[in-house]
């Protein structure tokens, strides 16, 4: 199976070509993929994973222009899709419906000036979870270390707070730590080179592919 939007593929060898096997393989294919959402770092993590993984089970739905951050509201470009600057963004809903992922991985990305305190940012995250659960019951994994350098201006303390409380409250499962990328982007301390930062790929592969 080859996904039309992302071009991600799934292949399984079988000993039969009957309809029972055919539909079983389709169900396995749709249960195979993991959707990566969030901000541009999520996109970079997925690109790094995609470059080195043999299995390639992740499908990205994050971008700089349609980031699915905790601030994203119902009907926004990130959820519903739409056009911005002449570019069409399918949004989470269309992407998720395209392949019915078995899980959602959400590397948290919270800007330093976005929320005044931990309570406000966590309430925003809980609202995000409500919107997500209206769409899918797939397991949600969150990570608060997302390849950023120490000089990144993201609110790492708030990212960790959301991570800790989401796990404790049963809203999400613990995703992997993505260590500071080995090859940072010289123009943006929060970003990194997804092809050269093999340590990011290694961390994502260990989580998604099981080692």
- Which range has the top average pLDDT, 62-66, 111-115, 199-203? 199-203
| Rg of the chain, C-alpha, whole Å | 17
In this structure, are residues 163 and 108 in contact, taking their beta carbons and an 8 Å threshold?
Answer: yes
Predicted confidence at residue 181, as pLDDT, reads: 97
pLDDT more than 90, % of the chain: 46
pLDDT more than 70, % of the chain: 82
pLDDT tens-digit series, residues 146-202: 999 999 999 999 999 999 999 999 999 999 999 999 999 999 989 999 999 999 999
Strand partners, 174: 142
Our CA angle for 119, 124, 126, nearest 5°, is 95
Helix (H) or strand (E) holding 50: helix 40-52
Q: How far is CA 184 from the centre of its chain?
A: 20
Stronger pLDDT, 131 or 80, i.e. the higher one: 131
The domains located in the chain, with CATH, are 35-208 (3.40.50)
In this structure, are residues 70 and 172 in contact, taking their beta carbons and an 8 Å threshold?
Answer: no
Kindly report the length of the chain. 211
* Distance from C-alpha of 1 to C-alpha of 21, rounded to nearest angstrom: 14
Model confidence band, residue 90 (pLDDT cutoffs 50, 70, 90) = confident
Strand partners, 173: 141
pTM of the full structure: 0.81
Residue recorded with tokens 């790929």:
201
């Amino acid at each position: 199976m080859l996904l039309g939007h992302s071009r991600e593929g799934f292949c399984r060898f079988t000993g039969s070509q009957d309809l029972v096997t055919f539909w079983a393989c389709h169900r396995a294919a749709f249960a195979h993929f993991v959707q990566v959402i969030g901000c541009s770092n999520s996109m970079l993590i997925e690109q790094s994973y995609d470059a080195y993984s043999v299995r390639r089970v992740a499908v990205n739905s994050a971008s700089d222009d349609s980031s699915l951050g905790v601030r994203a509201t119902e009907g926004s470009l990130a959820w519903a899709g739409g056009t911005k600057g002449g570019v069409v963004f399918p949004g989470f809903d269309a992407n998720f419906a395209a392949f019915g992922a078995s899980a959602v991985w959400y590397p948290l990305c919270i800007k330093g000036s976005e929320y005044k305190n931990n309570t406000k940012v966590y309430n925003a995250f809980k609202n995000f979870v409500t919107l997500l659960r209206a769409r899918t019951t797939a397991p949600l994994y969150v990570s608060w270390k997302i390849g950023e350098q120490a000089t990144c201006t993201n609110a790492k303390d708030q990212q960790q707070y959301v991570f800790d409380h989401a796990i404790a409250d049963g809203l999400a499962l613990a995703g992997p730590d993505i260590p500071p990328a080995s090859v940072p982007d010289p123009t943006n301390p929060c970003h990194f080179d997804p092809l050269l930062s093999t340590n990011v790929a290694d961390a994502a592969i260990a989580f998604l592919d099981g080692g």
